[in-house]
Amino acid sequence: MPQIFKAAVVQLNSSADVLKNISHASVFISEAAKRGATYIQTPEMSSIVDRDKNNLLRQVCFEEDDVFLSAMLKLAKELGITLHIGSVALKQGEKLVNRAFIIDTKGLIRARYDKIHLYDVDLPNGESWRESSSYTAGSTAVIADIEQAKIGLSICYDLRFPALYHALAQNGAQILTAPSCFTRQTGEAHWHVLQRARAIETGSFMISAAQIGPHEDGRETYGHSIIIDPWGRVLADAGNKGPGIALADIDLSLVYHARQMIPTLQHAKSFTTKQA
């Protein structure tokens, strides 16, 4: 695998119209490939953003019938890129799954990951979220061994659970990812510090595409799709002005150097806890 390659994050403002979202995502993915990116990542819920459960259920499909995924498989092959779809909503049994995909240069699915941690919360500004009412949580951490690197997969709210990233890095992931649909309120408070912390704690690159702006379903997302190096330095940030792309060169030798300088993965110990 190459030591240095170009990565891109695609920042979207996905709507409740799947076909519209295919068109918008395809434009930005194609532009990133034109600018030399060989690994391109889109945000959580790239295919549809709609918190109306009934509307969502009318539009989403099983994986084999999903038109967004089908279009992305074709696009990855056409452009000759590794395409990381941050997630799409898919039917599975009586509920949905929030599933990420890694698609290779031949247009084949190399890895799938179902979001483990579901966002059930009431925010001070009155927003309320109950992902568990519509989605089934995943239970397996996933590392995708692709042409460019070993990539640890996660989605959005997973970002707040550092043990997941520690496990991914200990098992060989060089790049960690958290494509997201972060709310503006929580993003302003925590997005950058959590992204940098996960990179620093594990000596890994952190690459996270994000949704941006007001959406048709009433939510507002934070944006700032980001690429961070293993020392915690921000290499690229798409900002909060609207949809677009951000690119950076990924030098995997930096992972080795960061983990040599601060070998937390080697020094981590198991322990017990007691009440004194």
Residue 74 annotated to the active site: no
Mean pLDDT of the chain: 94
pLDDT computed for residue 138 by the predictor: 95
Choose the catalytic residue: 6, 20, 34, 44.
44
pLDDT tens digits, 95-130: 899 999 999 999 999 999 999 999 887 767 666 667
Q: Mean pLDDT, to the nearest integer, of 155-172?
A: 97
**pLDDT the model gives residue 121:** 75
Looking at per-residue pLDDT, the higher value among 124 and 209 belongs to 209
Position 216 scores a pLDDT of: 83
pLDDT of 59 reads 86
Extract the tokens encoding 138.
């995943």
Q: What is the CATH number of domain 4-265?
A: 3.60.110.10
Q: How confident is the model over 29-49, as a mean pLDDT?
A: 97
Average pLDDT (10-22) is 95
Residue range 238-242: mean pLDDT, rounded: 96
The 8-class DSSP code of residue 220 comes to: E
- Known catalytic membership, residue 31: no
44 given a catalytic annotation: yes
Q: Kindly name the residue from 78, 147, 150, 156 that is annotated as catalytic.
A: 156
| 9 beta partners | 41, 246
Count Cα neighbours of 11 within 13 Å in the Cβ-side half-sphere: 22
User: Both tokens of residue 213?
Assistant: 């702006």
Q: What is the mean pLDDT of residues 42-46?
A: 97
Write down the pLDDT at residue 55.
Answer: 83
